[in-house]
Amino acid sequence: MSEPTSTAGTPVPETPTAGTSIPSASTRGKPTRGAFRPLRAALCFGARPLRAALWLAVLAVAVAVPFYLEGFWLQAGLFAMSAAIGAIGINLLTGATGQLSLGHAFFLAVGAYSYVSLSSDLGLPTPLAAVAAVIVAGVSGGLFSPIAGRLKGAYLGIATLALIFVGQHILFNAEPVTGGFNGRPVPPMELFGLVFADTPELVVLNVPFGSLERLWFLGIALLAGAAVFARGVLRGRPGLAMNTIRDHEIAAGVMGVPVARYRAGVFVLSSMYGGLAGVLVALVFQQVVPDYFGMLLSLDYLATIVIGGLGSVAGAVVGAAFVSLLPQLLTRYSDALPLVAEPGSGGVSPAEAARILYGAAVVAVVLFLPGGLVGLATRLGRVRLKELRWAKSAPAPASRR
Amino acid sequence: MGKIGTRAGVAALALLSLAVTSCGSGKATGGGGGGDAGAANVDGVKTGPGVTATTITVSALTDLTGPYASFGKSQTQAQQLYFDQVNAGGGVCGRKYELVVRDHGYDTQKAVAAYTEIAPKSAAIVQFIGSPMITALKQRIDGDKLLTIPMAWATTLLGSRAIQVTGTTYDVDMINAVEFLTKEKGIKSGDKIGHLYFEGDYGESSLNGSKYAADKLGLQIVEQKIKATDQDMSAQVAAFKAAGVKAVLVSVGPRQTASLVGVSLAKGMDVPFVGSNSAYAPQLLATPAGPALLKDFYYVSAGTPVSAQNPGMQKLVADYQAKYPGETLDSGVPTGWSAAMIVDEAMKKACEAKDLTREGVLNAHRSQSNFGGDFGTPMNFTFFDKPASRSSYVLKPDKAALGGAVVFREAEVSELAKDYPVPVG
Amino acid sequence: MAVFLELLVNGISVGAVYALIALGFVVIFKATEVVNFTHASLLLAGGYVIARLHPLIGFWAALAAGIAAAALVGALVEFLILRRAHVGSRGVLAIVTIGVDILLTTELTRRIGTEVLALGDPWGDRVLRLGPVTVAETRVVALAVAATLIVAFLLAFKFTGWGVAMRAAAEDAETAALMGVRLGRVSLSAWAVAGALAAVAAMFLCVFPTPGLDRGTAAAAMKAFPAAILGGLDSTTGALAGGLIVGVTETLMSGYQSELAFLGRGIGDAAPFLVMIVILLLRPSGLFGTKEPARV
């Protein structure tokens, strides 16, 4: 993907985290287990041609998926992609900069509803409406920043709760724009003459391409773009500055990091990621409804980045895949699973089992897996923990041992 | 290194080409959408998605872990019972029913995901709980021509050929409720009546009805909107009391109903209350609010209560209790049962026409103009931009009765409801 | 005027319950600087034990058992999970409490199922009449209990060894530890106390005017967030003030929603958050909170 920032002989510390992200997320279900270690080693430190080839293989799998998997899986994948984009945003803010935010669902709502309103009411071409929706989400993040700039830590975290409650109030009451409780239908995206909808019919290589198959590629492209950009931010000067603010705000100020500007900037950037996730999820839903953008969604995002791994792009992607696919897998295969009862039969139902596993995953990660699932994968890949950006910047657990 | 690189590169390219040619893909059908759609089977019956030579798959998208869990559970069990009985009697069209249940826990995303999973393999949806979820999927259900029985009664769900709202809509119920108040509870022109309602289509559909009726009868509605998370109705009661309302309409959840009625009586606001069909649950009678609810509270519904003395209902109650001993018998049991019956009836009719495709099932369903009997008021399915029925029962909580309610006034259509122009969509 | 008084009194009475919930948040934040999202499930746990036990052992014994059980759950959460969590910041600990809350709430709501559980309290649906104004007796008791507990905590923080240890730990954990304060014990006791408070709050939350304990009860804990923060996250007085402000705002906005229809109906739920934002803009650490000192 991008050029390594130092010579090949000395691996850059953050390479493992960033480099391993995509394969572990999208080769799911492929028998890569046995080849895991060499694969990882290759991706991290290995020869460039090998690495390029593996990325090509990842791409091939991503391209192949819509040709083989049914709609259910494509949709699950799309939800996971949207969640991953949103989670990257919140991970920039919470994971890398150390700022808790409970208002992320609000920015998803802003993105989703802006896209609908700008394309349906103002008649903007849909790609333009999508870009504008992301900007609107960023602007609304910026409008909140007088508050974000004034408050710190727990106070700001809880203050962002207001965004959810006030936001829902607006979604339900500003009917001309939001459609009230009914929500509004989402106009399908139209890009270079291709409509991301079921009609007009399209058959590619004998496989009927409906809206989910088409959106799959849009989702992959958006996620890849979002991931590469965030990785650039995290690896560059801004990333260092953000981590310094997280670890020691005053020291960061003393070292010349414009703390307030950075914090406002990251807040806006994370809002824009939320907005983009909102646009994608709206396209998948085909109808935006206010109920979706509630408190639970915000909490899910926070749990997602802890499970995946804080502060890295890979963590966000892996966490999102885990959190959004787990309930669907359990529901779908509830008949075949032990301990999970048929819905309504009185035992632990699949939905409950998913919630319990998901809560347990958060707890298990902080107890046993510092660095989240990505940290675990990295350790399995025999990369020493101290090389992890996450562990490096969080000395507390290390010193306790 | 270079060698490994080349080899890996070749492998990757091979993989890519494999991917793109999609050989061996189960999805490669040559296009045309639903695969075996319209294919004639051995027995000369055309079949569509969800129908094979031996089975008809029907699905329930229900809530077993969220706020409507009790309702969802009763309905699902009643429907399981129905299809088991039909299967035991030989099935329909030489095929057995298979009921697939998916629990979405009242979560829009999970409901959309579950729909995407089950829609391609279902012949009908016998139960779909949650108007926000159905609203989110309305376009797709219509496009898929998948006969769907929503377990929600908002007018926003009308206007789709594939979606069959059973019985009355919430607004029609409320019109009947207002007319009941004027006829039997001494409410007259110039009076104020309160309406406590939920944010969302349930509450707001109901409000449409009460406003229409109030307008025609010269009454004034005092509105109080709340959210499903609100528990304590003291502030709302204070506002109603201050406005001097003579009666209160209730379109909220059972908990809020209990709080409203209890607080009102305790504060000396002794007026009649009339609820929508989702405002009451028999579980409330065991709470401290029970006595207050037994006093002057009624609710309006097109569904016959389980305590009704008719042979169909009594058989259902007996069978249900035999199969699920000790389970609560609430309104979900007959509601679920009759929804299953509607789908079964459509399948039978479609079988007679030798067409079990989705289009065939919809045509068969939409040809019935007088469906009804022991479980609810008679319904007309031939149109889909108006409620299937306009007559509702007035029911009253009763501690001794099965299901916690008895018929207070037999089902009627009020004069107002007859001519009410239903806002669709 | 009578309406205003009625709404005001009702607002204060529901605010007392929010204050009790907020007090639990404050105790944990004061001792450990963690924002505790598990509070909602502690409420459920306490309420559940009271509801299940009162038919067997009577209301007061069940209340005591509920308080003990919720305190135990709180202590266990601290001892088994938070103490052992390998995380870099307190913000992450807050997310951990979200995970714990999901676990506990899922199991408790599964047990509650579809029932509405009565708590068997002695006050029933009696109301107190003060001239034109009526208020539920349960709420009068709640206000008295909240005020008493808050005074007790103020005194305890000032005069007991436990209180001093907690304040020291909050001020500067490292120094406090060097001075012989056992940080583990401080944080464990804070969680246990918060659990006990949650059980008391749950009891008042589930009796008249609400119908009883059910799976939705935990949602009320959300309203205590603005209460805790606008009073100041580390101030017990602030919890009371914040609770009352939230209760009064919510009740007045709901009661006058016909007059305030231009704000959109149902403004009562969003209003406390708007008030919270305004107060935080003026005083970033809440009304009574201490400004976080900069540690270098």
The whole-number pLDDT of residue A387 equals 47
Residue B317 to chain C, least CA–CA distance (Å): 20
Q: Which of C209, C216, C250 sits opposite B262 (nearest CB)?
A: C209
Whole-number average pLDDT of chain B? 86
- Report how many Cβ contacts below 8 Å link chain A to chain B: 175
Residue B37's alpha-carbon distances to A19, A72, A339, B27, in angstroms, are 46, 19, 38, 14
Give domain status of residue C264, yes or no.
no
Identical fold for domains B46-168+308-389 and B170-301+394-419, yes or no, is yes
Q: Do A181 and B204 touch (CB under 8 A)?
A: yes
* Subunit contact A60:B4, Cβ cutoff 8 A: no
Lowest mean pLDDT segment, chosen from A286-300, A376-390, B195-209, B228-242: A376-390
Q: Write out pLDDT tens, residues C266-290.
A: 788 889 999 999 999 888 888 888 7
Q: Is the pLDDT of residue B21 over 80?
A: no
The residue-averaged pLDDT of A10-31 equals 37
Residue B347: predicted pLDDT: 93
Residues C217 and C112: their CA atoms lie apart, in Å, by 11
- Residue C85 placed within a domain: yes
Percent of chain C topping pLDDT 70: 98
Does C279 map to a domain? no
- Sheet strands (E) in B13-141: 46-47, 55-62, 96-103, 124-129
Contact A344 B109 (CB under 8 A): no
Q: Give contacts of A166 with chain C, Cβ < 8 Å.
A: 270, 273-274
Q: What is the 3-state secondary structure (H, E, C) of chain C?
A: CHHHHHHHHHHHHHHHHHHHHHHHHHHHHHHHCCCCCCHHHHHHHHHHHHHHHHHHHCHHHHHHHHHHHHHHHHHHHHHHHHHHCCCCCHHHHHHHHHHHHHHHHHHHHHHHCCCCECCCCCCCCCEEEECCEEEEHHHHHHHHHHHHHHHHHHHHHHHCHHHHHHHHHHHCHHHHHHCCCCHHHHHHHHHHHHHHHHHHHHHHHHCCCCCCECCCHHHHHHHHHHHHHHHCCCCHHHHHHHHHHHHHHHHHHHHCCCCCHHHCCCHHHCHHHHHHHHHHHHCCCCCCCCCCCCCC
Q: Which residue of C has its CA nearest to A144?
A: C277
Q: Is residue A92 within 8 Å of residue B53, measured between CB atoms?
A: no
Average pLDDT over residues A28-41: 43
Contact between A358 and C102 using a beta-carbon 8 Å cutoff: yes
Closest residue on chain A to B107 (Cα) = A292
pLDDT tens sequence across C186-220: 889 999 999 999 999 999 998 888 888 887 788 87
Domain span at C153: 2-220
- At A277 the three-state DSSP class reads helix
Q: Give the sheet arrangement for strand B148-151, strand by strand.
A: B96-103, B55-62, B124-129, B148-151
Query: pLDDT higher for C277 or C179?
Result: C277
Contact A397 C87 (CB under 8 A): yes
Instruction: Supply C231's token pair.
Output: 């009073």
Nearest CA in chain B to C268: B226
Q: Select the residue of C81, C88, C266 nearest A393 (Cβ to Cβ).
A: C88
Is B165 in a helix, a strand, or coil? coil
Name the minimum distance, in Å, from the CA of B75 to any CA of chain C.
14
Does residue C196 belong to any structural domain of this protein? yes
pLDDT of C240 above 80: yes
Cβ pair C90:A154 closer than 8 A? yes
Give A191-210 pLDDT, tens digit per residue: 887 888 777 777 777 777 77
Subunit contact B16:A289, Cβ cutoff 8 A? no
Residue B345 pLDDT greater than 70, yes or no = yes
Using the Cβ of B144 and the Cβ atoms of chain A, whether some distance falls under 8 Å is answered with no
Res A346: pLDDT = 57
Which chain A residues have a beta carbon less than 8 Å from that of C35? Answer: 100, 154, 157-158
Q: Is C92 in contact with A396 (Cβ distance < 8 A)?
A: no
Query: What single letter denotes the amino acid at residue A125?
Result: P
**DSSP letter, residue A152:** -
Contact list, A155 vs chain C (CB under 8 Å): 229, 233, 280, 284-286
Question: What band does A129 get if pLDDT is binned at 50, 70 and 90?
Answer: very high
| Interchain contact A284–C (C-beta under 8 A) | no
User: What is the mean pLDDT of the segment spanning B36-56?
Assistant: 75
Nearest chain B residue to C1 by CA distance is B242
The more confident residue out of B399 and A18 is: B399
Residue A401 has pLDDT above 80, yes or no: no
What does the pLDDT look like over B385-395, one tens digit per residue? 888 889 999 99
Q: Do B267 and C134 touch (CB under 8 A)?
A: yes
Look at A368 and C46; give whichever has higher pLDDT. C46
Contact between C273 and A166 using a beta-carbon 8 Å cutoff: yes
B148 with B163: CB under 8 angstroms? yes
Residue A103: partners with Cβ closer than 8 Å, 6 or more residues away: A144, A160, A161, A162, A163, A164, A167, A298
Query: From the candidates C30, C87, C114, which should be mutated to test the interface with A, based on the most A CB atoms within 10 A?
Result: C87
**Number of other CB atoms surrounding residue B10 within 10 Å:** 11
- Over range B401-420, report the average pLDDT: 88
Does pLDDT of A220 surpass 60? yes
Chain C residues in contact with A151 by the CB 8 A cut-off are 280, 284
User: Which of A243, A322, A363 to mutate to test binding with chain C, by most C CBs within 10 Å of its CB?
Assistant: A363
Residue C95 has pLDDT above 70, yes or no: yes
Q: Do B328 and C114 touch (CB under 8 A)?
A: yes
Chain B / chain C CB contacts < 8 angstroms = 135
Q: Hey, of A291, A301, A304, which one would you mutate to test binding to chain B, going by the most B CBs within 10 A of its CB?
A: A291
Residue C285 lies in a domain: no
Where does the pLDDT of residue A4 fall: very low under 50, low under 70, confident under 90, or very high at 90 and above?
very low
Residues of C in contact with B289 (CB under 8 A): 125, 208, 211
pLDDT surpassing 90 at residue B30: no
Q: Is residue A7 over pLDDT 50? A: no
CB proximity B2 to A under 8 Å: yes
Mean pLDDT of B206-217: 94
Mean pLDDT over residues A145-169, rounded? 85
For chain B, the domains span 46-168+308-389, 170-301+394-419
Least confident of B134-143, B249-258, C171-180, C226-235: C171-180
Q: Looking at residues B13-37, what average pLDDT do you find?
A: 49
Each residue's pLDDT tens digit, A253-282 = 788 778 778 888 889 999 999 999 999 999
| Preferred mutation among B27, B121, B135 to probe A, highest tally of A CBs within 10 A | B27
C246 within 8 A of C226, measured Cβ to Cβ? yes
Confidence of residue B13 (pLDDT cuts 50, 70, 90): low
Whether B369 shows a pLDDT value over 70: the answer reads yes
Q: Which of C30, C97, C98 to mutate to test the interface with A (most CBs of A within 10 A)?
A: C98
- Give me the pLDDT at residue B232, please: 87
B65 touches chain A (CB under 8 A): yes
Mean pLDDT (chain A) is 78
What average pLDDT does this structure show over A20-31?
A: 37
pLDDT digits (tens, 9 = 90+) for A223-253: 999 998 988 888 888 888 788 888 877 888 7
Among chain B residues, the shortest Cα distance to A76 is held by B113
The per-residue pLDDT for B25 is: 55
Question: What is the pLDDT averaged over residues B246-261?
Answer: 93
Quick one: pLDDT band at residue A212, thresholds 50, 70, 90?
A: confident
Instruction: Give pLDDT, residue A185.
Output: 87
C47-88 confidence digits (pLDDT tens)? 999 999 999 999 999 999 999 999 999 999 999 998 888 776
Residue of C nearest to B267 (CA): C134
Angle at CA of residue C258, ends C252 and C263, nearest 5°:
80
Number of Cβ within 10 Å of residue B370's Cβ equals 10
Cβ contact (<8 Å) for B235 and C210? no
Asked if B262's CB is within 8 angstroms of C254's CB, the reply is no
* Confidence class for position A31, pLDDT limits 50, 70, 90: very low
- Whether residue C242 is predicted with pLDDT greater than 90 in this model: the reply is yes
B364 token code pair: 């068969």
Partner-chain contact C86 A150, CB within 8 Å = no
The CATH code of domain B46-168+308-389 reads 3.40.50.2300
Q: Establish if C203 belongs to a structural domain.
A: yes
Residue B379 pairs with which residues in a beta bridge?
B371
Model pLDDT for residues C116-167, shown as the tens digit of each residue = 888 888 888 888 888 888 888 998 999 999 999 989 988 988 888 888 888 8
Count of CB atoms situated within 10 Å of the CB of B113: 24
Which chains pack against B, by 3+ Cβ pairs within 8 A? A, C
Q: What pLDDT shows up at residue A30? A: 39
SS3 state at B198: strand
**Which residues 173-202 in chain B show a CB within 8 A of chain A?**
199-201
Whether chain B has a CB inside 8 Å of the CB on A328: the answer is yes
The one-character DSSP state at A97 is T
The CATH architecture that domain B170-301+394-419 belongs to is: 3-Layer(aba) Sandwich (3.40)
Which residues in chain C have their CB less than 8 angstroms from residue A360's CB? Answer: 99, 103
Region B69-79 average pLDDT: 88
* pTM reported for the whole predicted model: 0.84
Residues of B near C (Cβ–Cβ under 8 Å) read 65, 67, 69-70, 73, 199, 222-236, 238-239, 241-243, 254-255, 258-259, 262-263, 265-268, 281, 283-284, 286-289, 292, 328
| Distance separating alpha carbons of residues B125 and B56, to the nearest angstrom | 11
Question: How many domains does the structure of chain C reveal?
Answer: 1
Name the neighbours of C, counting chains with at least 3 Cβ pairs within 8 A: A, B
* % of chain B exceeding 70 in pLDDT: 90
